[in-house]
Structure formats: structure tokens, C-alpha cells
Amino acid sequence: MSYSPSRASYEHSFRHLKASHVLKGLASTPFDLTVEGNLSPNRIERYSAQAGEFKLLFGTERVNDDVLQALKELAQEAHLVEKMAAMQRGEMINKIEGYPSENRKVLHTAMRDFFMHPNQGKEALKATEAAKKECDKLKAFMSKVDKEGQFTDLIQVGIGGSDLGPRALYIALQAYQKPGRRVHFISNVDPDDAAAVLKKIDPKKTLVVVVSKSGSTLETLTNESLVKEHFKKAGCNPAEHFLAVTGEGSPLDNPDHYLKSFYIWDFIGGRYSATSMVGAVMLAFALGFDQYMNILKGAHEMDRIALQPDFYQNLPLLSALLGIWNRNFLHYPTVAVLPYSQALLRFPAHLQQCHMESNGKRIDRMGHPVDFDTGPIIWGEPGTNGQHSFYQLIHQGTNVIPIDFIGFAESQLQEDINIQGSFSQEKLLSNLFAQSIALAKGQKSDNPNKVFPGNRPSQILLGKRLDPFTMGSLLAYYEHKIAFQGFCWNINSFDQEGVQLGKVLAKRIIDQFSAKRQGKRAERFPEAEALLRHLDDLQ
């Protein structure tokens, strides 16, 4: 019998779960990684798990068998795997009980679930069929683009989830890019962002993908107008170059203005949309349609892994619970995501949005303020660059910062040579492993400046090589880790009311600018007027 979230299931408080009390007691004396012999080879081997393309190494976390058992019981008590299954079936989980809210399904997993059809729910099956239809449209369109050979460049115009995830994936997979193809991104309403991109392209050879689910996103529509004006000045008809990724029937769904429209739906949240048409058009152009499908296959494999009841076979669940231990019981406020892969340059920025927009919540699913910490602050940069930047604070600062390390056994391009007895990839991995050990064990010294306190937890997600399949799997791993933590805290990880107030007030200030230019009076906004006077002082 399948689990379906009920009103009663939303009424539990994370802090009052039986396993939470056990974990609170265990947190008073967490495992000491600095004691000689505690970080043993046996511990490093035993505290590891493998599924799909990845191994998760967590011997450098401050956990022992008692903590792991209590975390396993927490997952069972909070029905985390059952809630993941309900999400993937298409249950209505994007809602706040008793209050106006989005009231939507959450089906980004259905966008990549047309390989096996494993017991999908009716709603998920309908979503998958719609996604398959859009993929067929995209495949036919890209076949035509390849055959005609007119377009060498593509500009993606979008912001937030329409930019961060797709951009991170494109940068990560440039090693697999088709010859003669380039992709550019315009997201910021800062006009310099668009101007810098438009200097690089020949409009006659460029496609433009405008991404907005509602067709009303202020920054995106503004940038679209800037780009269209540039194309017109170059003698190009925008309708022959512009594509739309939008909701069916939105203002952008207009065949008179766009060469082709591809659809997304309200059950696909922006930060979870990279494997939908939001990322698909750009990725299929850059990498080829088959490589885009490989991304979907990798993501789908991790979607299946996230349904595994076995604690050690469900990597995103295991990582999520280790994060719960660090956040709620050891009380660490941030997490650094540090990929030892230059290709993942923008992946921490995507995860910053995905984590913090999802789990930066202060009320539970019943609308009650929570009495515990929810989502941590997420940040990060690739190693080894970060070692020459902020690692000083990580090792010897006053705040303990848990680390998600990401590494790969092999480089993407395999262009490496032996220098001074080792290959560059070996040097890269040596630094990754050394940092994890150093943070855990620390260092004693008579010189206080050389004391490293240790007991700074980390986990390592290790794969063989970053390719389209692995990248899809990595993306889904973090999507599910975030969702599991939200399920555990009993918050809604799929809305983003916190971004709305600033948008509303910005629109009122825009009206102030417009009214002043026309010599009219806008609606009074005294605080904004006071700020705008400072601009006048600079004229």
C-alpha cells in the first residue's frame, strides 16, 4: 500500500520526534576525530556507501554507530522515503495546510522518467507523457538545426532557475560540446550583462532561447527586448531566431513572435527545472540531443536510488541525514560545497539557490513557526583554488563549517602528464583527501599559530569521471538531498514566497523612476523617495 501524505503527517514537529531526543543526547559527546587512532583505515572503509555512479565517504563526519542508528530511525519515523515516493508519484505536496498556497504537484523527476516506467502514479505518468512530447519536438527541431547548419551560437535569456542550473550544467559539460557550437547566458537586468554577450555573437548565426514559465518575469522580458533590438539593428527578424520555453498559453507562447515554443508546467519548480525544457534546448544545441538524453538517464538513475529503503544504498538520504546531524544537533550554520573539478565552477551557485530557496523557511507545513534551525547557508568554490583563499577560516577560524567535497577519479579531457612523479589529477585528488583528513584530525603544536583544532566534519562524494550521465546523477543527488531535509523538517521545500516582497517593492520604485522621467507623480513611497534622493546627489 503506497504512502500518501495526510494532514496528520504534516502535524509532527521535527524536534518532538523520538529519534530527535536520542540524537540530542548523543550530540553532547560527539565522536572525537582528533583522538589518535579514531580516524582509522577501518573506519574510513566502513563508513562509506556506494550506489549508481558514486561513493559517499563519511568517515570524517563526527558520527559513530549509535548516531547512524538514530539517524536511520529518524528517517523511518519521519517517513522520508515514503514522502519521496509520494513526490515522485505526483501527490499534491507543494502546499501549506489551511492557508492560500501554490497547491501543486512536484514532478521534476517525471521529466526524466521515460526509460523504464517503474510503477509511476497516474499524475506522474501524465507528466512524463507531456515531457516525452516536448522531447520529441526538441529532437526534430535540433535535427533540422544540425542539417541546415545556420546557427553556431545560442543565447539563453532567463534568471534564477532558468539560468543557474542550465549554466552550471553547460559549463560542467563543455568537454563534450559539439564542434562549432557556443552558448551564452544573459540573466542580470544590469544592461552590461546583455551588452557583453551581444558583442561576442553574430545575430545571423545565433538562436535566442527566452525562458519564463509565466511569460512575465521582469528581468527576462527586459533583457529579451534589449536582445531583440540588437537583432533588428543587425537586419534580423527576431521571429526567425527566437525560441520560447514557457507555460502553454503564456504571453511567450506566440508563433508569430517565436520560431518554436517548448513547454514547461507549474509542477516544475524553477530551481528543479534544469532537466526540463528549461535546460534541454540549450543542452541539446550545445552537446547534441543524445548527450542531453544521457543527462536525463543519469538523473533518472539517482531518482530510483532515492527510493531505496536501505539507508546505505540511498546516498542522498544518507547525506541529508548527516546534514541534519550537523545542522540541528551540532548546530553548524553553514555548509561549503567544494568540488575538486574546475568543470563544476558554477555548480555551488546552483546549489546555493536550490538549497536556500527550498529550505530557507521559518514555518512548517501547517503554517506554524518552527522552533529549530532549517536550511543552512550554502556557499563554495572549486578546489584547489579555494585552498589559497578561504580555507584558512575553515581550518583555524572560530566557526566550524561542514564540507561537501566532490571529486572524480579521472579528468574529463584526459590531457594530463607526469610532472615531478605524479599526474595533475593525482595532485588534485591528493589535495582533496589531505584537506578532509586535516580538517578531521587537526594538529597539535607548542606554537599556537600552528594549532589546528580538528573535529571539522566533511564528507566526500566520489565518482569515476564527470560526463553527461554522471552530471545528471549528481544534479539529482543534490535535488533529493534537499528534498529529504525538507521532509524531515516538515517544511515546504517547493515554494519561494520569500522572493516576492522585494519584487513587489521594486516594481513600485520602478514606477517612481518612470513618473519622474515623465514629470508625473507616482504613488507615494517615502522610504524609496529618500533613497532615490541620494541618486540625485550623484548627478
The residue that leads in pLDDT, 80 or 529, is: 80
- Comparing C-alpha atoms, which of 277, 290, 486 is closest to residue 376? 486
Question: Left (φ > 0), alpha (ψ -120 to 50) or beta: where does 79 sit?
Answer: left
Q: Taking residues 348-359, report their average pLDDT.
A: 98
Question: Left (φ > 0), alpha (ψ -120 to 50) or beta: where does 178 sit?
Answer: beta
Alpha carbon distances (Å) from 61 to 34, 292, 450, 455: 12, 35, 23, 8
How many other CB atoms sit within 10 Å of the CB of residue 309?
13
pLDDT number for residue 121: 86
pLDDT digits (tens, 9 = 90+) for 398-410: 999 999 999 999 9
pLDDT digits (tens, 9 = 90+) for 40-49: 999 999 999 9
- Return mean pLDDT, the chain: 95
What are the extents of the domains in the chain? 8-91+309-495, 108-298, 498-538
Q: Taking residues 358-385, report their average pLDDT.
A: 97
Return the CATH number of the domain spanning residue range 8-91+309-495.
3.40.50.10490
pLDDT number for residue 116: 56
Equal fold, 8-91+309-495 vs 108-298 = yes
Domain formed by 108-298, architecture: 3-Layer(aba) Sandwich (3.40)
427 pLDDT tier (thresholds 50, 70, 90): very high
Least confident of 1-5, 195-199, 213-217, 241-245: 1-5
Q: Taking residues 222-239, report their average pLDDT.
A: 98
Q: Taking residues 110-136, report their average pLDDT.
A: 87
The tally of CA atoms less than 13 A away on the side-chain side of residue 235 is 3
Query: Which among 357, 361, 441, 480 is annotated as catalytic?
Result: 357
Percentage of the chain lying above the pLDDT 90 cut: 91
1 pLDDT tier (thresholds 50, 70, 90): very low
pLDDT number for residue 515: 87
pLDDT number for residue 409: 98
Asked if 388 is an active-site residue, the reply is: yes
539 pLDDT tier (thresholds 50, 70, 90): confident
pLDDT number for residue 327: 98
Query: Which among 388, 520, 527, 534 is annotated as catalytic?
Result: 388
pLDDT digits (tens, 9 = 90+) for 285-294: 999 999 999 9
Query: Which among 18, 24, 331, 503 is annotated as catalytic?
Result: 503
pLDDT number for residue 516: 84
Determine the residue type at 53.
Answer: E
The residue that leads in pLDDT, 179 or 9, is: 179
442 pLDDT tier (thresholds 50, 70, 90): very high
- Comparing C-alpha atoms, which of 388, 404, 524 is closest to residue 457? 404
9 pLDDT tier (thresholds 50, 70, 90): low
Q: Taking residues 87-112, report their average pLDDT.
A: 95
Asked whether the predicted pLDDT for residue 8 surpasses 70, the reply is: no
